[in-house]
Chains A and B, each alone.
Chain A
């Protein structure tokens, strides 16, 4: 049995999410082969070869894969994936984009956001926004799935020495083209990988007040997130959204500031190890999941917190 893991990368570096997927693959058992499909992606492939537990790295290096467009990736993964018992990718916006295409081309179903491996055919995944956990057994010849990174520890990035093999196949569907990208620039850690996350909600009142959270975050190396209410109100961009419709995070410490705790938001952060809630409404539902609750006006508490750290 061999498992194909599709690497998440930006051609130059391997993204952390790949390490969690490798752990999920190891939990299924069998040889773990990582596919790095990109353009001038040699550095990412070398990084993948060093990941502990990886037995081989396949590199598909072609301009057709530079932006990992779903149409091209789907065809490539379907072609290479035929030889494997399982195909895994991270449940990121990239993995979610191309992997269902590959599954359909292979004429198999797919499991999204797998959070636990029961055995080689059986997996758990959240449904109904995490309000229920389904355990599903697949009879497909190839099991195709995206893996929720927060549910699996990261494999060690160093220690492996896998062979790197070039893939000849070039799949260019010619259906789509990259036009442009607007990526948020930040020196803070990525939300989904950060050890500490500080999030603001509607209680922040406006976007300028998020400055207070940035100051706290920078003192403790945290990422900054937001509730959907704060995003909908236009305080901050959508890529900061934590919740069912945004990012799923599970840091060691999650500090919710001025967030009431709608189910929608809890779905995105309730697996955090320690949750702190700062809210002036002591009835706010966020306190029902918080390990430490502070009933206070955030405009007093947040500057005080910054000073105390």
Chain B
């Protein structure tokens, strides 16, 4: 079966984010960018499905500026077969992303769509679910295990109280949580090979999707800073302070 994986170019997770002094947004000038960590897990899962003989082709799609080709090439180096970039410089809201992905799903007809549960920039955790609604596909969000079984897929989900397993009719959407797998590193030969894999570039207009926006950013501010408190010398002093000063015991 064909597996489609959506990936996003975001700030590298090791970079400390700073808010611009005029509070208009976060400052991303000259900041290192990378593939969203949850998307990497999605790519890894797709590649493992191919290695197990379950998936026949892994197609990776990204939406963003021309440089997002780097993240598609990374996915190709990890084992995906070909890439699609929907090129746009515009700021994207989840609903638009879901509509663009829906257009790709209609064209590619994958049996399984894998996405990260959220990106580490906007922290929305919406796109997979929205894509599920727009394509009328079942969804398994926050997946920690994915088992394809005939015409359905069993997905074990990380939920607040523990784990829940659901059976989804294929085609289906799966969004990845952290414990689904540990992504591999791309080897140098595979990075070289990835350069020759096909990567098609398209645009929202080609896909007939209007770029609408309903959310405007009023301001972005740093979170309230916490001040360091005091050091206590002993457990007895700690308990005394918690009882009499902080009054939380």
Contacts and interface: CB of A to CB of B under 8 A. Distances in A.
Interface of A: 67, 69-71, 74, 78, 92-94, 96-105, 107-113, 118, 122, 126-140, 173-184, 190, 192, 196, 220, 237-239, 245, 247, 252-253, 263, 270, 273-276, 282, 287-296, 301, 304-305, 308-309
Contacts, number: 248
B205 interface: no
Contacts of A239: 158-163
Interface in B217-249: 217-223, 226, 228-232, 234-236, 238-239, 241-242, 246, 248-249
Q: 7 tightest A-B contacts by CB?
A: A100-B129, A291-B229, A175-B138, A104-B130, A104-B133, A100-B126, A101-B133
Contact of B129 (A101, A128, A181, A190): A101
Interface of B: 11, 16-17, 19, 26, 93-95, 98, 120-134, 136-142, 144, 154, 157-169, 172, 178-179, 214-223, 226, 228-232, 234-236, 238-239, 241-242, 246, 248-249
A274 B226 contact: no
B122 A127 contact: yes
A93 B242 contact: no
Nearest to A220: B249
Contacts of B144: 238
A239 B230 CA distance: 31
A181 B164 contact: yes
Given A179-B154, A184-B161, A308-B239, A128 B215 contact: no
B165 A181 contact: yes
B162 A181 contact: yes
Nearest to A69: B166
Contact of A177 (B17, B128, B129, B167): B167
B134 A104 contact: yes
Nearest to A96: B125
B136 A305 contact: no
A109 B17 contact: no
Contacts of B98: 104
B34 to A, nearest CB: 14
Contacts of A100: 94, 125-130, 133
A174 B218 CA distance: 41
A288 B139 contact: no
Contacts of A67: 164
A287 B160 contact: no
B129 A176 contact: no
A263 B134 contact: no
B135 to A, nearest CB: 10
A41 B229 CA distance: 47
Contact of B160 (A92, A128, A180): A92
Given A110-B95, A175-B136, A175-B138, 20 more contacts: A94-B160, A100-B94, A104-B98, A108-B95, A109-B95, A132-B222, A136-B217, A173-B138, A176-B139, A178-B165, A178-B166, A179-B167, A180-B164, A192-B160, A238-B179, A239-B161, A270-B226, A293-B231, A296-B235, A308-B236
Contacts of B93: 109
